[in-house]
Amino acid sequence: MPAVGASASLGRMEVRLEPWSESALALLRRINTPEMLHHFGEPESEDELLARHRRYLTLPEAGLGRAYVVLLGDEMVGGINYHRHEWQGEEIYETGWSVLPPYQGRGIAAAAGAALIGIVREAARAPGAPRHLHAFTSVDNAPSNALCRRLGFTLVGACDFEYPRGSGRLIHSNDWRLDLGDPSRTSI
């Protein structure tokens, strides 16, 4: 069974991942702003936000993945998750992350990403589990594309990716892939 939480050191700071909980709804509301979502469209309605929160809470029991709160000390500074789905005929894990503006550019997303990759590598050991982790970043989101490169992902190419899933809205994205069986592919 994969680790429930994880941590990574960032100089003198410790970035921790803790499983998504009811209290994380406040964080999700802070993420659901035009500033945070400008690469993905507009903020979600309250009903859509509550549905997302419920999905994050139920991912583990459905066996599809897990969402985490990114903590710096005791402060919620972002979120990161992974989940299973089919992409181009292959069962994959997908990841996504958000770090609140006051904490961006400090290496927090890189530390959280490295910790998450360790968790997903463990999940990928299960029989029948996906062997690749993908990240779909907007082609014009330079910081997220740089993060994928820094974490050891390989750029597969540009694609049109539906976000949020089921919305019919396509985002022109880069498809980044990480081979979960190659531990040398993660660096920060």
What radius of gyration, in Å, describes the C-alpha atoms of the chain?
A: 15
**Mean per-residue pLDDT, 4-29:** 82
pLDDT of residue 183: 66
Q: How confident is the model at residue 1 (pLDDT cuts 50, 70, 90)?
A: very low
Count the domains in the chain. Answer: 1
Burial-class residue 131 by CB neighbours within 10 Å (0-12, 13-18, 19+). Answer: middle
Q: Is residue 160 part of a domain?
A: yes
Q: Is residue 143 part of a domain?
A: yes
**89-107: b (≥16 Cβ within 10 Å) or e:** eeebbbbbbbbbeebeebb
pLDDT of residue 168: 80
Q: Is residue 1 part of a domain?
A: no
pLDDT in tens, 172-182: 999 999 999 87
Q: What is the CATH number of the domain that holds 139?
A: 3.40.630.30
Q: Is residue 28 part of a domain?
A: yes
**Mean per-residue pLDDT, 72-87:** 95
**DSSP secondary structure string for all residues of 43-66:** PPPHHHHHHHHHHHHHHHHHTSEE
What is the average pLDDT score of the chain?
90
Domain that holds residue 126: 6-185
User: CB–CB of 185/155 below 8 Å?
Assistant: no
Q: Check pLDDT > 60 for residue 161.
A: yes
Q: What pTM did the predictor assign? A: 0.89
| Secondary structure letter of residue 23 according to DSSP | G
**Mean per-residue pLDDT, 31-38:** 88
Structure tokens given for 7: 């941590």
Q: Check pLDDT > 60 for residue 109.
A: yes
